[in-house]
Copies of this chain bind each other. A is one copy, B any other.
Amino acid sequence: VRAPGTQVYLIGAGPGASDLITLRAVRALARAEVVLIDDLVDRAVLAHCAVAVRIVAVGKRAGCRSTPQDFIQRLMLRYARQGRIVARLKGGDPLVFGRGGEEVDFLERHGIRVEVVSGLTAGLAVPAAIGIPVTHRQYAHGVILVTGHTRCGGEPDWAALARLRMTLVIYMGLSRIESIAAQLIAHGMRADAPSAAIEQGTSSAQRHIVAPLAGLALAAREARLEAPALIVVGDVVAFARASERLSPADRAAATI
């Protein structure tokens, strides 16, 4: 007979800053005997763990190349079957572009009791960090969270996205920023739609640029933004703070 308690916590660590984690996540970390931590999670959150905890780094970078997803799932299963309380610590929210749904499914099919601890997703908290309210009664009646690509190659329905006139938040889109902006404009979005790209939002390394949609890719390239980054398009981006965080070196690079 299996113990009734949770065996695996699937925890969202939030968008970057280590204090943007929930109390529930902190308490789950304190209970965990094994913590599997993703690359993008600030190690400072491990301060909430017990002294005797085992930490396993299971980083994998975004992209379509083969990832150790299966390996991570089997690792969680193995520790859980050893009777240990496992915490899987992921950036953002485990169920928003985090493959958490697949992990819950896998573990439950193997009889493991899983608890999801939601975290702040970058798509909402990162715009807030540069002054953008993703919804606004006057400017945006909704917000859409998408990835820049669908499962290795497909494209979102840019025409429908452009037509909705809601705030559009694009995860993992930096490498295709030129194409994304072009598609949106080709499908009816204004070339001067306020747009932003934010690198490592909410972390101490946060940098961002703001530009009209047609100039977004160039501005991102000039500022040498790097992944992980988020793209935000829509009237609410007009509220964004100026990109004051670019370092002098960045500014110099941008003028070359």
In the complex, what's the smallest C-beta–C-beta distance from A88 to chain B, in angstroms? 14
Q: What residues of B have a CB within 8 angstroms of the CB of A101 in the complex? A: 133, 135-136, 236, 239
Shortest distance between the CB of A208 and any CB in chain B (Å): 16
Contacts of A143 in B (CB 8 A): 96, 144-145
Q: Which chain B positions have C-beta within 8 A of A124?
A: 93, 95-96, 118, 121, 124
Question: What's the nearest-Cβ distance from chain B to residue A67, in Å?
Answer: 12
Closest Cβ neighbor of A131 among chain B residues: B104
Residues in B with CB closer than 8 Å to A236 are 101
Residues of B within 8 A of A176 (CB): none
Rounded to whole Å, the gap between the CB of A60 and the closest CB of chain B is 14
Interfacial residues of chain A within 126-157, with CB under 8 A of chain B in the complex: 127-129, 131-137, 141-147, 150-151, 154, 156-157
User: Could you tell me how many residues of chain A have their Cβ less than 8 Å away from some Cβ of chain B?
Assistant: 57
A133's partner among B95, B121, B128, B166 (CB-CB below 8 A) is B95
Closest to A18 in B: B23
Residue with the highest number of chain B CB atoms closer than 10 Å, among A136, A145, A156, A165: A145
Is A135 within 8 A of B95, CB to CB? yes
Query: Across the interface, which residues of B come within 8 angstroms of A36, CB to CB?
Result: none
Interface flags, A8-50, vs B, CB<8A=1, else 0: 0000001001011111101100000000000000000000000
Contact of A137 among B27, B102, B129 (CB under 8 A): B102
Q: In the complex, A113→B163 CA distance in Å?
A: 36
**Interface class of chain A by DSSP:** mixed
> Taking the nearest CB of chain B, how far is it from the CB of A130, in angstroms?
11
Min Cβ gap A176→B in Å is 14
On chain B, the residues within 8 Å of A142 by CB distance are 144-147, 156
| A125 and B136 within 8 A (CB) | no
> By the criterion CB–CB under 8 Å, are B23 and A21 in contact?
yes
Distance, CA A165 to CA B154, complexed state (A)? 14
Interface membership of chain A positions 94-112, coded 1 if the CB is closer than 8 angstroms to chain B and 0 otherwise:
0111011110110000000
Tell me the bound Cα distance from A157 to B161 in angstroms: 11
Q: A22-B22, A95-B127, A97-B135 are in contact. List 4 more A-B contacts (CB 8 A).
A: A102-B137, A120-B120, A142-B146, A160-B163
Q: A147-B142, A166-B144 are in contact. Are A20 and B118 (CB under 8 A)?
A: yes
